[in-house]
Amino acid sequence: MDKPTDNLDYLDKADNLKTIETANENPSFFEHRGNRKNILVVFNFVLLAIGSLLILSPLWWMFATSLKTMAEVMSFPPSFWPEDWLFSNYIKTWEAAPFTRYTINTLTITILVVIGNVLSNSFIAYGFAKIPFRGKNILFAIVLATMMIPGFVTLIPQYVLFANLGWVNTYYPLIVPAFFGSAFNIFLLRQFYMTIPTELIEAAKMEGANHFYIWWKIGLPLTKPAIATVAIFSFNGAWNDFLGPLLYLNDENLYTLQIGLQVFKGQLSTQWNYLMAGSLLVLLPVILIFFFFQKYFIQGINLQSGGK
């Protein structure tokens, strides 16, 4: 990437823009002054807390189930509070299949998919949003159209394609496509790029910057929250993907967590306690990532302007 060394005015402009837009810590449409504001905060807090209970109660049920014996799971009526808290279920779950191996495998795939998605989609979306070129609308329509064909009907031909490449029983079919963009993410990022003022880009061009540089120096930073969203979505998608690994992996040493979880689901009966324990364990990294990653998109822009 060749960097124009002389005039960096437009970068300052970009920074000014960021500062103007997000000078506060947390823009809020509910924000009011004085007492009314406090009342509103309390009201919202209570509302959110009640909502959380509704959201959490099914999860509590999962958690409670994960600690029960199967005999207790099968008893009726279902108990809300486990008799004995069998945390040992979690150990048994982990040992029921090579889950450590599966975790490493899943992590490998997921990390590469996230990198691929973040890099490729923001690059492609910038082209669709900010550069005029002939045939753009038709191409974009095709991008959207790829989302509209149900995956089932392309499943077999796609498998045959990857088989001919010799990619069956490798991670390539799961990872490589991520580096070429996906319709959902391209569309999402395009929507965010569209909100960047064209004048900003024009100004940068006037001062000799090319589009690569503008994308890297203006596009990426200004769409950081959206990129974080794409990262989180693709992390989720790859982490929870079941059909992809199932189809393409033959060697059990390459299996992922979602396939591993299936061992608790028998043909006749399901080991609910282990299945729930396993599901919660698998969920944990995703929650942690979200919890810590939040700040990147919640305060992303602020950090940006301050961190110069």
Partner 1 sequence: MGKKRLTMRRKESIYGYIFVLPWIIGFLAFTAGPLVFSFVASFTNYNITSQMDFVGAENYQGLFTEDSLFWTSLWNTLYFVIFSVPLTTIGAIFLSALLNQDIPGMRVFRTLYYLPAVLSGVGVYMLWMQLLDPGTGMVNLVLSWFGIDGPNWLFDPDWTKPSIIFMKLWSVGGSMLLYLASMQGVSKSLYEAAEIDGANTWKKFFHITIPMITPVIFFDVVTSLIGGFQIFQEAYVMSNNGEGGPANSLLFYNLYMWKQAFTNFNMGYAMAMSWILFVIVFILTIFNLKLAPRWVHYEGEEK
Partner 2 sequence: MNKLKVFIILIAGLALILSGCSGFQTNNSGGDEAAVNEDGKTVVDFWTFWGSEIRRPIIEQIITDFNESQDEIEVKHTYLPFGDIWTKELAAIAAGDPPDVVINDINATALRGQKKQAMNLSKFLEEDDISKRFYPELWDATLYEGDSYGIPFNTDTRVLFYNKDAFKEAGLDPEKPPTTWAELEEYAAKLDKKAGSNYDRVGFYPLWGIGYDVWLLNANGQSYFDDQDNFEVDTAKNEEVLNWLKSWKDKYGEDVVNSYQAQIDSQQGHPFFTGDLAMIAQAPTFYTQIRDYAPDLNFGVIELPEYEEGNGNTSWGGGFVAEIPEGSKNSEAAWEFIKYLTDVEAQEYWAVKNFDNVANIEAAEAAAKSDEFTEDGTMVYEKAVENMEHTLLTPVPVIAPDFTSLINPNIDEFLLGSMTAKEALAKSQADVENLIEKNK
Q: Which residues bind partner 2 (CB under 8 A)?
A: 70-71, 73-78, 96-97, 104-105, 107-109, 111-112, 114-115, 155-156, 159-160, 163-172, 217, 220-221, 242-243, 246-247, 249-254, 259, 262-272, 304, 307
Nearest to 210 by CA among 137, 140, 116, 126: 126
Measure the CA–CA gap between 164 and 36, rounded to whole angstroms: 67
Positions 158 through 177 that interact with partner 1 (CB under 8 A): 158, 161, 176-177
The entry of partner 1, partner 2, none near residue 100 (CB within 5 to 8 angstroms by kind) is: none
Q: Are 241 and 112 in contact (CB under 8 A)?
A: no
CB of 136 to partner 1, least distance (A): 7
SS3 (DSSP) at 75: coil
x/- site string to partner 1, residues 180 to 219, per CB under 8 A? xx--x-xxx--xxxxxxxx-x---------xx---x----
Positions 284 through 303 that interact with partner 1 (CB under 8 A): 286-287, 290-291, 294-295, 297-298, 300-301
Instruction: Say which residues have a Cβ less than 8 Å from residue 7's Cβ, sequence separation at least 6.
Output: 207, 208
The entry of partner 2, partner 1, none near residue 236 (CB within 5 to 8 angstroms by kind) is: partner 1
Nearer to partner 2 by Cβ, of 250 and 294: the residue is 250
Positions 4 through 33 that interact with partner 1 (CB under 8 A): 20-32
- For partner 1, the binding residue among 62, 86, 112, 263 (CB under 8 A) is 62
Q: Is 138 in the site for partner 1 (CB under 8 A)?
A: no
Measure the CA–CA gap between 45 and 96, rounded to whole angstroms: 42
Q: Is 304 in the site for partner 1 (CB under 8 A)?
A: no
Q: What would the two tokens of residue 250 be?
A: 């033959």
Positions 88 through 107 that interact with partner 1 (CB under 8 A): none
Measure the CA–CA gap between 160 and 173, rounded to whole angstroms: 11
φ/ψ (deg, to 5) at 6? -70, -75
Q: Are 80 and 285 in contact (CB under 8 A)?
A: no
Q: Which burial class, exposed, middle or buried, applies to 230 when counting CB atoms under 10 A from its CB (0-12, 13-18, 19+)? A: buried
**Residues in binding contact with partner 1, number by CB under 8 A:** 107
Cβ neighbour number for residue 151 with a 10 Å cutoff = 10
Nearer to partner 1 by Cβ, of 79 and 250: the residue is 79
Instruction: Say which residues have a Cβ less than 8 Å from residue 141's Cβ, sequence separation at least 6.
Output: none
- For partner 1, the binding residue among 16, 79, 88, 146 (CB under 8 A) is 146
CB of 7 to partner 2, least distance (A): 19
Q: What angle do CA 116, 122, 126 make, to 5 degrees?
A: 145
Q: Is 44 in the site for partner 1 (CB under 8 A)?
A: yes
